[in-house]
Structure 1
Amino acid sequence: MPVSCFKKSLLVLSIAASATVVQANSFNRIASFGAIHNLPEGTELNQETSPEIIAASEDGNTLVYSDSPFEALGFVDITNPHKPVAGGIVKLDGEPTSVAIGAATVFAGVNTSESYTKPSGYLMALDLQTRKELARCDLGGQPDSVAVSKDGRYVAVAIENERDEDLNGGELPQFPAGWVTIIPVKDGQPQCGQLMKVDMTGLAEIGAIDPEPEFVDFNSRNEIVVTLQENNHLAIIDAASGKVLNHFSAGSVELQGIDIKKDKKLDFSGSQTRLREPDSVKWIDDNRFVIANEGDMNGGARGFTIFHKDGRVLFESGTSFEQEVILAGHYPEKRSGKKGSEPEGVAVGQFNGQTYIFILSERGSAIGVYRDTGKDPEFVQLLPSGIAPESAVVIPQRNLLVSANEKDLIEDKGPRAHVMLYNFSDTPAVYPQIMSSRTNDGTPIGWGALSGLTADPTKPGMLYAVNDSFYANQPTIFSIDANQTPAKITSAMPVLREGKAAMKLDLEGITVDGKGGFWLASEGKTSKDIPHAIHHVNNNGEIDRTIDFPKTLLAHELKFGAEGITLIGDTLWVAIQKPWKDDPQDQTKLLAYNLVTNIWGAVRYPLEHADSGWVGLSEIVSHGDQVYIIERDNQLGESAVVKRLYSVSIDQLKPAAIGSALPVVKKVLVHDFLPDLKSLNGYVQDKVEGFTIDAAGNGYTVTDNDGVDDSSGETLFFSIGKM
C-alpha cells in the first residue's frame, strides 16, 4: 500500500474511532427521589409538594430545592447518587421562588406578597450545614430567580412583581414595576445594607414602564444576563456598578411545521410567528448565552436561542427541538394551541472537556441534550424526566445532571413530584426505547398513547400498534420495526370509515387477520355514544366490517370494556378489562366471537385481588397452545404491585353462552413486569397496555403514555425474550 494511502486509512480510522468515543458518551437516569419523602413526620401524605428550582452544594453531595406549595426548602443527600436520601426540609414564612448555593451558604428568594399590587419578599441566607438563618435582606418586592456569582461576591435577584393574569387578560402595564437587585456577599454573608436596585424601566418596546424580570445568571466577568419574559427583552448588567451594559429585544421566530390546534390529533402542518418571551437563561461562556423560549403572554417559540451579549442571534432552534420531542412520543397535543412542548428550563455544564446544553420541555416532560460546537449545537439525545421539569443543575465534577420536576398530581391520584438524577458515562443511551421516523418530506410521525400490539406472522420483529381515544380524531395503526434499537415506528396508517378518520372509537386491541388486514377492539361507553365493538380493517385502513357487542352483554355494561383481541382459528377472543354487573367479584370475561357461526360466548378469568384501586386486563395474544394475558393494577410509583403476564392454555377456552354459567379458566404466571418498569429508574408506569409475540417467538411489551397528559410521557418498549 502506498504511504499516502496508508496515512489516509489511518486518518479515516482515527476519525471513526473519535466519533465512536464521542457517541458513546451519554446521559442515563440513575435515580428518582419523590419529594413526598421529605415531608416531616406527621404531615398528611396528600400535602402537595413541588421541587421547582434546584441547586447543588460545592462538593456535589447535597441538593437543595425550593418547594413553593409547602413553603419550604428541601434537602437531598446524594452522596450515593444511585440512592438519594431524604435530607429534610427547612420551613419558611413565605413562598420560596428560587434557590442558589454559594460556597457554604444557601440563598433563597422568599415571596411574602399580600397581593399583586402589594408585593413583598426577602432574600434569606442559610448555613448549608447547620441550616441556621444567617441573614435576611428585605427586597421590597416579589422575587423570582436568584443567582450567585461564580466568585461568590454577588447575589442577583430578579424582582418580578408578577402580573395578575386574570386582570385585563394579563396585559401590561400592571404596577408596581419590577427590577433587578444586586447584593454584595462577604464571607458567605449578604451585605444587606449595600443592596443595589437596578432600574429596568424604559428598556423594552413591550411594557416599557412595567418590566418583569424573570431569570438571572452570572458569567465569570460578573456580568448578569436577565430575561424580561413578558416584555420579550434581554439585558446585560455589570454586577459591580449596576450599570445596564446592553439590552435588546428577544425578537420573534417564524415557525413552520407545527401543531397549532388542540383537537385530539397530531397535525404538524401549521405555521405561526411567535415572540420568544424567554424564561430561563444560562451563560455558555463569557460572551454567549442560551434562552428557553417558553412564552407567557403572546409568545412561545417552542425552542431555544443562543445570543451573543452584543445582541446578535447566533443560533435559533426553530422547530428542531420540538421535533425531537415528537419523535420520542413526548409531544403534548393538549398544548398545541398555545406553546407546544414549552421549553422552560436551561442548564449548561462541561462534561469530559465538552460543553453541554440542556433544554427542559415543561409540557413534554423531557430534556434535550445538546453539545456546544461554538456554532450550531449538536443534538445528542432526549432524556425522560418527571412531570413538568422546572429546572436542572449540573454537577460536572461528579458526572451528574439533576432535574427538578414540579408537577404533583396528588389531587388526580397521579404521579407525585420528583427530583431525578442522571449519570454521564460511556454507557449507551437507554432511552427512548421506541421512537418514530420521518415521512418523505421530513415531517416527524406523531404518536403516543399506544394501547395494543400485534405481530406480523412471517416477519420477525415486525409489529403493529394502535393508539387509544386520547387521539379520538386520529385513530391509527402504527408499523414498528423492533429489529433496531430503539425500536422504530416506520409508518402510520389512519383507520378510516368511508375515506375519513373513523370517529367514536377507543382502540385498545389489535390482531392480524392473516390476510393483510386487522381486527381491532374498541372499548365503548354507551353513555357517550361510543359503541363496544370489534372492527375489521383492510390493508388500507378502511373499516369494512363492524361487530357490535350483543345486547345480552351490554345490559350489564360498566365503564371498562375491551382491552385486547386475538384470533384463534375462526374465533376472535376479546379481553374485558374489569368485571361487569353480571360478573363475580375479582372475575372478568374473555369474550369469544365465532366468525363462521356469528355466535358470541365467553369464559371467566380470575383476577388478582386489589388492596388499593383495581386490577384488570390490558391485553390478550395467542401463541402456540397458550394465550398470554396482561393483568395489571391501576397503581403507579411505589404503590404499583400487579404488573404481570399470565398464560392460559387454549384447551381451556371453551366458551359458554353469555348469560349462562361461564367456566372459569386457570392461569399461570409467566412474567412479572415490575423489574422492567423500574429499569429506567423513573417512577413505575401504571399502564402496561400492549403485548405480542413476533414470528421468531419473542415477546414484546409497550406502555401507554396517556398522550403526555398528566403523565411523564415516557413509553417503555422492551422484549422479554423467547416465549
Structure 2
Amino acid sequence: MTIPTRRHLLAMLFPLTMLASCGGSDVAPTPTSLSLEKIGAYDGAAAGAAEITAYDPPSKRLFVVNGANGSVDVLDLATPSAPKLLGTISVAALGGGVNSVAIHDGLVALAVEAKVKTAPGVVAFYNAADLKFLHAVGVGALPDMVAFTPDGKSVLVANEGEPNSYGLADSVDPEGSVSVITVNRGGTPTVATAHFKDFIGREADLRNAGVRLYGPGANAAQDLEPEYIVVAADGKTAYVTLQENNAIALVDIAGAKITSVKPLGFKNHNVAGAGMDASDEDGGTNTNSGTPAIKIAPQPVKGMYLPDGMAMFSVKGGSYLITANEGDARADWPGFDEEVRVRAHCPLGLDPAVFGADAANLLFDSNLGRLRVTSTPNGGKTGKNALGQCSELFSFGARSFSIWSTDIVRVYDSGDELEQRTKALSNVAFNASHDNNSLDGRSASKGPEPEGVVVGAFGDKTFAFVGLERIGGVAVYDVSVPTAPVFATYLNTRTGATGDRGPEGLALVMADKSPNGKPLLIVGNEVSGTTAIYQLNLTY
C-alpha cells in the first residue's frame, strides 16, 4: 500500500497533452537530447499535500490534490518558477476527500470518495476560472481516478471498490467498476456503469488465464479493482489497470461495457538484465545477520507486474501502452494479509527440483529469505508442492516499466535498469524509501517502485517520464522504438531524507500550452507534500 495514504493516485495528462503524446506535429523539430531542470516548487507543508496534479492552460492554474486535507489546492502557475496558492476546493459537503483531478477546456472533474469508503462516491465538476461548483453525480465505491476522453464529451472513472476487511462481521466488499459520465456542458451529466457482473461465475476461467482473483470470499466483480485509465485517441476504447489482479480491462466507452480482462503474466527475474536486489541484509554469505549492500543479480523469482499508472502513445501507425509496475499487496486488511517473507513462507524449504542444489542456501536472509512475496498467487494456489515445499516465488511489482501492444502482449520491459541507474546516486542511499535514507531499505520489498508514467511527442521522438515512488526522481526514456527504448536522463531532487520525496502524480504540459513557452513536467510528491515544476530543456 502506498504510504501515507491508500490512494494509488496517478497524474493525468490533460487532453491536449494526450493528443501530443499520440503523434505530435509533423512540422515540429526533433530534439537530439532532453534534460530536466527543476525551476519551481510549492510546499504544501504536510505529508500527502501533493498527489495528483492537472493544469488548465487558459487560466494558467494548477490543480493539486491535497490528500492531507482531502481537498484541492489551486495554484497560480503564470510564473512557473514561483507557484502561488490562489484558493482551495473543499469537498467536505460531498464526501470524505478527493482522490483524483482532471481538466478539459476549463472544466474540472474531481473524484470524491464517500466518507465511508465502501459506499458510492461522486464526481464533482467545477469551473477552472472561478472555482464555481457546477454539478456532482454518483459513481461507484472509491472513485480512484478520473480521465476525460479526447473530445471532452465524457469522463471515465475507475471505481476501485476496495473492501474494508475480509471475513469479519462488518466486512463490506463493494464491486469494482468504471463509470462513464456524459459531460453535457450546460446541463446535468448522466452516468452509465461498465461493471464486471458478467464475469461472476467465470472466476475459474479468469484464474486459469492468469488473472489474479484471491480476495477471500470475493466473486469476480468484487475482486477486480480498477486503478488507472487511459483512453485511445479515437475515444472509443479505454484501458484500465486492475493492479491487484495483475491484469488490464478493456472498456467499450459508447456501450459502457467491459469487453475483456487480459492477464499480464509474470516477469522472469532469473535472467541476465532482469535481476533485482532481493535483500537488505545481503552484505554477507549465507547468513541471517548480514548488513546492507548493493547486489543486483538474477534471482529465481517471478515478478507480478501489478501496474499502477499507465500511458498510451502511438508511433509509426501503431499504438502502445506503457505501465509503471509498482506492485501492490493486500497487506493491511483486517482478516487477510498476503504479504510474507520467503523464509517464513517456506518453513519446509524450497523444492530442489525447481531451485536446484542451492535451494537450502537461498532461504538465508542474505539471499532470498527476506524478500517479500505473496502467500496467495491466485485463488487457492500457494506455489507449493505436495510436500509443502515452495515451488514458485512471486514478488510484488517488476521494478520496471513495460510496453505492451493494445492486445496486451508485452513488447518490452526495462529489466533491472531502474535499480542499476539509481545505485550510483550521491544524494540518496540505494533503494532508500521515501520516508528515510536507509541503504537497501526497499530491496526486500519493491525496490524503486515505479508508480506513474506520462508520455509526450517532440518532433519524431516520443519520450516516457517514469516517476519512482520510493527512491524518488523521474527517469526519462526515448520510446520512439517501442521494442527498444533508450535511456535519456534521470533527475532526483531529494537530499537524503529531505527534499522531494514520493512522486505520486506526473503531468506533462506541452510548450504551446505552457505559461513560459517551454514544456513542463509537474510532479506531485506525496510524502514531502511538495509540487515540483520541471522544465524540459530540448537540444536540437
Instruction: State which of 190, 199, 212 in structure 2 corresponds to 1:206.
Output: 212
For 1:288, the equivalent position in structure 2 comes to: 320
Higher relative contact order (CA 8 A, sep 6+): 2
Which of 289, 307, 313 does residue 410 from structure 2 map onto?
313
SS at 1:186 equivalent: coil
- Report the counterpart of residue 369 of structure 2 in structure 1: none
State the SS of the aligned residue for 2:256. Answer: coil
State the identity %.
27
Q: Name the CA distance, whole Å, in 2 between partners of 1:153 and 1:34.
A: 34
Report the residue type matching 1:292 in the other structure.
Answer: A
Alignment partner of 1:242 is 2:256: yes
Mark the CA change 1:244 to 1:359 in structure 2 (over 3 Å): closer, same or farther. same
Question: What is residue 391 of structure 1 aligned with on the other side?
Answer: 505
- The answer to whether the Cα contact below 8 Å between 1:358 and 1:367 also exists between their aligned partners in 2 is yes
Distance across 1 between alignment mates of 2:136 and 2:143: 13
Shift of 1:87: 2.1
In structure 1, the residue matched to 2:420 is: 323
Cα deviation for residue 244 of structure 1 reads 3.0
Equivalent in the alignment of 2:454: 347
**Distance in structure 2 (CA, Å) of the matches to 1:325 and 1:163:** 36
In structure 2, what is the equivalent of residue 83 of structure 1?
Answer: 82
Paired residue secondary structure (2:423) = helix
Does residue 403 (structure 1) correspond to residue 516 (structure 2)? The answer is no
Who is 1:600 aligned against?
A: none
- 1:186 corresponds in structure 2 to 184
Q: Per-residue displacement from partner, 1:649-685 (whole Å, max 9, x unpaired)?
A: xxxxxxxxxxxxxxxxxxxxxxxxxxxxxxxxxxxxx
SS in 2 for 1:380: strand
Equivalent residue letter for 1:302: R
Q: 1:188 to 1:55 in 2, by over 3 A?
A: farther
Following TM superposition, by how much is the alpha carbon of 1:235 offset from its aligned partner in structure 2, in angstroms? 1.6
Could you list the per-position Cα deviations for residues 445-486 of structure 1 after superposition, in whole angstroms to 9, with x for gaps in the alignment? xxxxxxxxxxxxxxxxxxxxxxxxxxxxxxxxxxxxxxxxxx
Inter-CA distance 235–49: structure 2 relative to 1 (3 Å threshold): closer
Answer whether contact 2:59 2:128 (CA < 8 A) is retained.
Answer: no
Q: Deviations over 1:493-540 (max 9, x none)?
A: xxxxxxxxxxxxxxxxxxxxxxxxxxxxxxxxxxxxxxxxxxxxxxxx
Report whether the alignment pairs 1:279 with 2:308.
yes
Q: Is the Cα contact below 8 Å between 2:34 and 2:489 reproduced in 1?
A: no
Runs of at least 5 residues in structure 2 that lack an aligned partner in the other structure: 1-29, 200-205, 214-219, 282-291, 330-373, 375-395, 432-439, 494-499
TM-score (ref. length: structure 2): 0.67
**Match for residue 56 of structure 1?**
55
Cα deviation for residue 200 of structure 1 reads 6.5
Provide Cα deviations, 1:247-293, integer angstroms capped at 9, x if missing partner: 31121111243211123332223522111011011111372111111
Summarize deviations over 1:145-188 as a string: whole Å, max 9, x none.
Answer: 11111110110000001244x7589xxx9722211111111227
Report deviation, 1:60. Answer: 7.8
Q: Is the 8 A contact 1:369 1:379 kept in 2?
A: yes
Say yes or no: does 1:304 pair with 2:411: no
**Distance between the aligned counterparts of 1:190 and 1:283, measured in 2?**
30
CA contact (8 A) 1:125 1:189 kept: no
Which segment is superposed worse, 54-63 or 393-402? Answer: 54-63
In the alignment, the residues of structure 2 paired with residue 246 and residue 354 of structure 1 have an alpha-carbon distance, to the nearest angstrom, of 32
State how far apart, in whole Å, the 1-side matches of 2:122 and 2:245 are: 24
Q: Residues of 2 paired with 1:279 and 1:226: CA distance?
A: 10
Q: 1:241 to 1:161 in 2, by over 3 A?
A: same
- For 2:491 and 2:186, locate their aligned partners in 1 and report how far apart those are by CA, in whole Å: 35
Letter in 1 for 2:521: L
Following TM superposition, by how much is the alpha carbon of 1:68 offset from its aligned partner in structure 2, in angstroms? 1.8
SS in 2 for 1:321: helix
Following superposition, the deviation at residue 353 of structure 1 comes to 4.8
Residues 214 and 177 of structure 1, relative CA distance in 2, 3 Å threshold? same
Once the two structures are TM-superposed, the CA of residue 345 in structure 1 deviates from its matched residue by: 0.7
Partner of 1:97: 99
Paired AA for residue 25 in structure 1: L
Q: CA deviation at 1:81?
A: 1.2
Q: Which of 295, 298, 302 lines up with 1:267 in the alignment?
A: 295
Q: Equivalents in 2 of 1:87, 1:365: separation in Å?
A: 28
CA distance in 2 between partners of 1:378 and 1:200 (Å): 42
Give the direction of change, closer, same or farther, for the CA distance of 1:336–1:23 in structure 2 (3 Å limit).
same
1:251–1:292 Cα change, 3 Å: same
Alpha-carbon distance in structure 1 between the residues aligned to 2:40 and 2:198 = 44
Match of 1:379 among 487, 502, 516: 487
2:521, 2:534 within 8 Å by CA — same for their partners in 1? yes
1:335 is aligned to 2:335? no
Cα gap change, 1:427 to 1:349, in 2 (>3 Å): closer
Partners of 1:296 and 1:103 lie apart in 2 by: 34
User: Counterpart of 2:105 in structure 1: which amino acid?
Assistant: A
Q: Tell me which of 107, 110, 123 is aligned to 1:108.
A: 110
Shift of 1:243: 3.0
Pair member with larger Rg? 1
Cα offsets for 1:580-623 (capped at 9, x unmatched): xxxxxxxxxxxxxxxxxxxxxxxxxxxxxxxxxxxxxxxxxxxx
> Secondary structure of the residue that 2:294 maps to in structure 1?
coil
SS at match of 1:322: helix
**Matched-pair contact (CA < 8 Å) for 2:177–2:193:** no
Helix, strand or coil for the counterpart of 2:183? strand
2:397 counterpart letter in structure 1? G
Give the gaps of 5 or more residues in structure 1. Answer: 1-20, 37-46, 409-416, 429-723
CA distance in 2, matches of 1:213, 1:26: 34
Q: Is 1:195 equivalent to 2:197 in the alignment?
A: no
Aligned residue pair count: 383
Q: When you count strand as a share of all residues, which structure comes out higher?
A: 1
Query: Displacement, 1:426?
Result: 4.1
How far apart, CA to CA, are the structure 2 residues paired with 1:199 and 1:317?
32
Counterparts in 2 of 1:198 and 1:190: CA distance versus 1, 3 Å: farther
- How much does 1:327 deviate? 3.2
C-alpha deviation, 1:352, in angstroms:
4.5
Alpha-carbon distance between aligned partners in 2 of 1:323 and 1:168, rounded to the nearest angstrom? 42
State the distance in 2 between where 1:189 and 1:402 align: 32
Distance 1:69 1:91 in 2: 12
Q: Which string of whole-angstrom CA distances, capped at 9 and with x for unpartnered residues, describes residues 292-324 of structure 1?
A: 111112421100111111121111112122221
Q: 1:227 Cα deviation (Å)?
A: 0.3
Inter-partner Cα distance in structure 1 for 2:172 and 2:323: 25
Which of residues 472, 483, 494 is equivalent to 1:365?
472
How much has 1:420 moved relative to structure 2?
Answer: 0.6
2:532 paired with 1:423: no
In the other structure, the counterpart of 2:230 is 217
CA distance in 2, matches of 1:85, 1:26: 25
Q: Any conservation in 1 of the 2:474–2:492 contact (CA below 8 Å)?
A: yes
Contact 1:388 1:405 in 2 (8 A): yes
Separation of aligned partners in 1, 2:492 and 2:47: 23
> Structure 1 residue 189: deviation in Å?
5.8
